[in-house]
Amino acid sequence: MKQQRPLTITGGKLVTTGGVTDGAIRLVDGCIEALGDIAAQAGDDVLDAKGQLIAPGIVDLGVFAIDKPACHAGGITRAALMPDQSPPLDYPSRVNYIAKIGKPDLWVHPLAAATSGLGGTQLAEIGMMKEAGARGVATGRGWIANSGVMLRLLQYASMLDLVVVTHAEDGDLVGEAVATSGEMATRLGLPSAPAEAEALAVARDIALAELSGARVHFRQVTTRAALDLVRQAKARGVNVTAGVTPAHFMLSDLATAEFRSFARISPPLRSEADRKAVIEAIGDGTIDVIASGHDPRGAEAKRLPFADAAEGMAGAETLLAMTMNLVRDGVIEMARAFTLLASNPADLLGVEAGRLETGLEADIALVDPDKPWVIARASMVSAASNTPFDGQPAQGRATALFKGGVRVGV
């Protein structure tokens, strides 16, 4: 799907890495040709943004399913797919297939499985999967317990200049736990694991990142202890980044009361103190990425006793609105919000998108940051509606979406 005619979007507020300014943007041949105080040229299609934000399309780093309707509704133009598929993304042919499935209206960037079958023991053919289209390597839902295997993975990925996306929980400590140890887990009688399982995994992987020089991205860091470790590592110059999903800055383990299985996610919800620590880390720059962790699960997987329910939440539709809460609360500014949602993930994946800059891909979202709506399972367009935010009032929605200069959704 190729842009046929130049498009100039006028009358909006441009969200650049430097801030938010009034202006327009011109899209030609699928790329950003100009932006700022510009006017449409003869023969251009023209769209009046009517004061809305003209922002980069969201780059969602680490989804578990490609769900185009949900992505389009959420302002997402690119999605990095985790390797936890059936079968796993541990062969070049599978990676190559996934790299093409989003066409023509969504960019899909596969993350290669770090180990064969995601078993954590034998490295997969990472070099060949990079050639097939992998934009990174991921350990999947689990942590690689063998430090020797993890070090070899990081050394190999460093040579290939691929980011390693890792799950930060010590699997031996977590075991079959479904909750974080504490008062709530005790009251509910749920199998639980200490929050320190995250810090132990982060500490080990930081040490190996420092040893290997590899780029390591912790897909979710959700506890104060682990965030402090990331903060200290960055201060030493270690090449590590951290992400989080809205559930961990919006909710604490109190949301699991009454055994609400839609709040069964991975990592499990943490204490209120840890939730506040995540917000602090977003504000001070310790956290680099906010992603949806989109993992749609049907009723057959969620309408079960809490401990038996599948983990995961449908997050693509609510990602933007939940991040807008941070802006309204004064935690971050609007430009920073789209750095977390778009430009930082694009940089980690090595794609020329995620920012409003001339020459980059024309992946654009028009956003009304104040548009009120209520998150309702019955009206979600996702493949499944397993959201812990059901019934919650929200503000902020994408009203138009463009991939390579062509309108694709909303």
Domain extents in the chain: 53-409
Q: How far is CA 155 from CA 144, 145, 163, 207, 208, in A?
A: 15, 16, 11, 13, 9
pLDDT tens column, 167-225: 999 999 999 999 999 999 999 999 999 999 999 999 999 999 999 999 999 999 999 99
Is the Cβ–Cβ distance between 263 and 388 less than 8 Å?
yes
Mean pLDDT of 387-408: 96
On the question of pLDDT at 246 being above 80, the answer is yes
pLDDT of residue 299: 87
What amino acid is encoded at 325 in this protein? Answer: N
Match 């034998």 to its residue by tokens. 122
On the question of pLDDT at 162 being above 90, the answer is yes
- By residue count, the chain amounts to 410
Which of the four pLDDT bands, split at 50, 70 and 90, describes residue 297?
Answer: very high
pLDDT of residue 409: 80
Q: Which two tokens stand for residue 39?
A: 């006017």
Hey, is 228 helix, strand or coil? helix
Nearest to 354 by CA among 238, 107, 364, 284: 364
pLDDT tens column, 12-71: 999 999 999 999 999 999 999 999 999 999 999 999 999 999 999 999 999 999 999 999
Q: What is the pTM of this model?
A: 0.97
Contacts of 277 (CB under 8 A, 6+ apart): 223, 224, 227
Q: What is the largest CA-CA distance in the chain?
A: 68
pLDDT of residue 302: 93
Which of the four pLDDT bands, split at 50, 70 and 90, describes residue 410?
Answer: confident
CATH superfamily to which 53-409 belongs: Metal-dependent hydrolases (3.20.20.140)
What DSSP letter does each residue of 88-154 carry, written as one string? -S-SHHHHHHHHHTTTTT-EEEEEEESBGGG-SSSB--HHHHHHTT--EEE-TTS----HHHHHHHH
Residue 297 and residue 231: Cα distance in Å, rounded? 34
Q: Residue 8: how many CB atoms within 10 A of its CB?
A: 21
- Angle in degrees, CA 132, 134, 140, rounded to 5: 130
pLDDT of residue 407: 97
Is the Cβ–Cβ distance between 329 and 402 less than 8 Å?
no
Residue 166 and residue 145: Cα distance in Å, rounded? 11
Q: Which two tokens stand for residue 359?
A: 């020459």
Mean pLDDT of 349-374: 97
Q: What is the DSSP letter of 294?
A: B
Displacement of CA 116 from its chain's centroid (Å): 24
Hey, is 83 helix, strand or coil? coil
Match 């430097």 to its residue by tokens. 18
Mean pLDDT of all residues in the chain? 97
Is the Cβ–Cβ distance between 265 and 247 less than 8 Å?
yes
